[in-house]
Amino acid sequence: MNLSLVPRPVRVRFAPSPTGTLHIGSARTALYNYLYARHQEGSFILRIEDTDAARSTSAFEQSILKDLAWLGLDWDEGPDRGGDCGPYRQSERVQAGIYSQAAGRLLDERKAYRCFCSQERLEQLKQECLDRGEMPKYDRRCAGLSPDEAQAKLAAGEPATIRFRVPETEIVVNDLIHGHTKFSSDVLGDFIIIRSDGGVAYNFAVVVDDIQMAISHVIRGEDHLTNTARQLLVFRALGQEPPVYAHHSLILGPDGGKLSKRHGATSVGEFRQAGYLPEAIINYLALLSWKPSGDQENLSRSEMVRDFEIYRVSRSPAIFDIQKLNWLNGLHIRDLDREAFHAAIGPFRNQAAAGATGAQLAVAEKAIQTSLVTLAETEARLKEFFDDYNIEAAEDFAELLEPQSLRVLELAVAELAGLSTDQGFAVTEVEPQIAAARELVARLKLKCREGQIPAKRMYRTLRIALTGRSSGPELPFLLAGLARDTVRLRLTRAHSYIAARLAEKTEPGG
């Protein structure tokens, strides 16, 4: 029986370097790993690759964990929650001697060697290669040193790196997204696996970790494809089966360049602050390269988990399209229940509804939920709802300066006169209150029709009289959500204003 054909338990990892906040492209890598793990009922592991001590900070690590948690990409093992394959921070794994032990094995087996070349020599070598129009490659000066010679140099205090001895071979990366990609080891050159200060190089640490963490599938950006060639050689040297690879395309801006600051927001935190829901972000990021089996694009997390297959991930470049993200964000906003929507807009409400009762706010929130594109519009939209406006300055008001609008306002005021001014109602009564306002609007519409006034005139007049604008919340929401006194006041004020302007117009010489 060929053991390598026995399917291994699915274990995937997301391995960010905490040298910045979580980029939207990295979030997509995390998402594909998460979806794959959950679909396959495997494990999703978080590994922190913080070997670049100068650039890594624990503040960045914290912010990455926070953003992943906000996106709902919960991991099974990681630096904060442990697991059987820890530690999950590479810096701690350096301390534990994990990499030096693995490198020691390669040295013993002569699959790696110590290199004593100075930085100056290496720089010069690189320049010579470039001058000849060749890819820089180490010339193997130290590859022939015997273990004794190397020991003597070490004992004399000479600094040394450890280099991987690249065998002459063809390397085939068998990738679930890219298919077979061939590399010749010839171009790679013997690469450093342990630096002279004892630090570990990325291509070595990753392999040692992927082995010890029993990673079955590596899903990451295609910028790592050439690293994979080196990593496969290290797997082979350590006598281990490599995981299965899947390199997804990178996210590009609309101009075809790598997505960067000049295209707008790039980090998950920036999208959060701009009012995007995590549900919309992950839905959008998944669709950037993955094609669901059905036609529906507005998908929940569990629907994506159920449907996610790597073979449906395309290798074409993923062009970032903010319009599509906006569209999905709107759909996911509409999908939130009342409590979830209330909580989601909390950070964006500010003082916009300061004087409103809980029930009035609930009506207004219901009204704006139907049309928000991002949560960041909340404050302005609630202000449109609750704040008073200046008739003189309200642009849309000009269209009301005609007799039919006067008549609409009279009918509305008369209809309201029958209602009590006591409008205290509970949050649980929001629906009946809106239903009552709808009935009121229907009665008014009937009255207008009797008076030959088109419905459109009625809607526009009342909305402009209540808010100063012809577009905005649906009329029944305004009638239910604004205090009844406020409604009366704004309608009668509009009436007096229009009446006065019309009188001026008709006065001779006026």
Helix (H) or strand (E) holding 220: strand 217-221
Q: What is the spatial distance between Cα 66 and Cα 457, in angstroms, rounded to a whole number?
A: 51
Of 13-21, 106-114, 261-269, 368-376, the segment contacting ligand GLU by CB under 6 A is: 13-21
Listed residue (221, 292, 281) closest to 251, CA to CA: 221
To ligand GLU, the closest distance from the beta carbon of 314 in angstroms equals: 20
To ligand GLU, the closest distance from the beta carbon of 242 in angstroms equals: 12
Site string for ligand GLU, 172-211 (x = CB under 6 A): ----------------------------------x-----
To ligand GLU, the closest distance from the beta carbon of 13 in angstroms equals: 7
Helix (H) or strand (E) holding 64: helix 58-71
What phi, psi does 110 have (nearest 5°)?
A: 60, 25
Beta carbon nearer to ligand GLU, 13 or 495: 13
Beta carbon nearer to ligand GLU, 208 or 400: 208
Site string for ligand GLU, 339-378 (x = CB under 6 A): ----------------------------------------
To ligand GLU, the closest distance from the beta carbon of 16 in angstroms equals: 5
- Site for ligand GLU (CB under 6 A): which residue of 10, 11, 12, 17? 17
- Site for ligand GLU (CB under 6 A): which residue of 24, 49, 78, 175? 49
Beta carbon nearer to ligand GLU, 218 or 252: 218
CB 382 within 8 A of CB 368: yes
Q: Which residue is nearest to ligand GLU (CB)?
A: 49
* Catalytic site positions: 261
Of 15-23, 171-179, 235-243, 416-424, the segment contacting ligand GLU by CB under 6 A is: 15-23
Beta carbon nearer to ligand GLU, 217 or 332: 217
To ligand GLU, the closest distance from the beta carbon of 14 in angstroms equals: 7
Q: What is the spatial distance between Cα 320 and Cα 258, in angstroms, rounded to a whole number?
A: 10
Q: What is the spatial distance between Cα 203 and Cα 422, in angstroms, rounded to a whole number?
A: 72
Of 11-19, 177-185, 250-258, 356-364, the segment contacting ligand GLU by CB under 6 A is: 11-19
What phi, psi does 114 have (nearest 5°)?
A: -85, 140
Q: What is the spatial distance between Cα 499 and Cα 253, in angstroms, rounded to a whole number?
A: 55
Q: Is 15 in the site for ligand GLU (CB under 6 A)?
A: yes
296 SS3 class: coil
Listed residue (96, 93, 105) closest to 237, CA to CA: 105
To ligand GLU, the closest distance from the beta carbon of 95 in angstroms equals: 18
Give how many residues touch ligand GLU by CB under 6 A. 7
CB atoms within 10 A of CB 419: 14
Q: Is 16 in the site for ligand GLU (CB under 6 A)?
A: yes
CB atoms within 10 A of CB 478: 25
Q: What is the spatial distance between Cα 25 and Cα 11, in angstroms, rounded to a whole number?
A: 21
To ligand GLU, the closest distance from the beta carbon of 227 in angstroms equals: 7
Q: Is 220 in the site for ligand GLU (CB under 6 A)?
A: yes
Beta carbon nearer to ligand GLU, 49 or 77: 49
Beta carbon nearer to ligand GLU, 225 or 394: 225
Q: Degrees (nearest 5) of the Cα angle 190, 191, 195?
A: 135
Beta carbon nearer to ligand GLU, 58 or 118: 58
To ligand GLU, the closest distance from the beta carbon of 182 in angstroms equals: 20
Q: Which residues in 461-500 contact ligand GLU (CB under 6 A)?
A: none
What phi, psi does 75 have (nearest 5°)?
A: -105, 155
- Site for ligand GLU (CB under 6 A): which residue of 39, 105, 224, 447? 224
Beta carbon nearer to ligand GLU, 219 or 363: 219
Of 14-22, 158-166, 240-248, 346-354, the segment contacting ligand GLU by CB under 6 A is: 14-22
Listed residue (111, 196, 199, 200) closest to 158, CA to CA: 196
Q: Mention every residue, 6+ apart, whose C-beta is less than 8 A from residue 386.
A: 352, 353, 355, 356, 360, 364, 482
Helix (H) or strand (E) holding 137: none
> What is the DSSP pairing of strand 192-194 with strand 161-164?
antiparallel
Phi-psi region of 424 (alpha: psi -120 to 50; beta: other; left: phi over 0): beta
Residue keyed to tokens 């599509």: 324
Q: What is the spatial distance between Cα 11 and Cα 26, in angstroms, rounded to a whole number?
A: 18
- Residue numbers at the binding site for ligand GLU (CB under 6 A): 15-17, 49, 206, 220, 224
